[in-house]
Amino acid sequence: MTAPTVEAAINDLMDRGWNVVYDLLSERGLLGDGLDVEEYTGIHSWVDGLIRYTVVHSGAVAVLFLDTRPVDAIMFHHDLLGADDPISFFTVPG
């Protein structure tokens, strides 16, 4: 179980962009994994310049948000959490 504030942050991001998250998961063949918001228990967020990057993940998939907009979804890799450049795991629109 996650802390209430972490849970609230995950739910807020996922609820705002659920239609886009669903489309990203579908496009990448990840729909079978992580469809329930409750499955998302991890969040990693940082600011670079004017943009807040946030990765929300379950045990199977990770979703990248730029500010509050979901932009990519991938299979979750534990290496992502300790990476110097977590963005390199994702495709970020130019």
Res. 94: pLDDT tops 90: no
Res. 3: pLDDT tops 80: no
Res. 85: pLDDT tops 70: yes
What is the DSSP track for 1-58?
---HHHHHHHHHHHHHTHHHHHHHHHHTT-TTS--SGGG--EEEEEEETTEEEEEEE-
Asked whether residue 31 is assigned to any structural domain, the reply reads yes
What tens digit of pLDDT does each residue of 29-82 get?
888 755 666 688 899 999 999 999 999 999 889 999 999 999 999 999 889 988
Q: Which domain holds residue 48?
A: 4-89
How many domains are there within the chain?
1
Residue 33 is predicted with a pLDDT of 53
Residue 2 is predicted with a pLDDT of 59
Asked whether residue 53 is assigned to any structural domain, the reply reads yes
Residue 39 is predicted with a pLDDT of 84
Note the pTM of the prediction, 2 decimals: 0.89
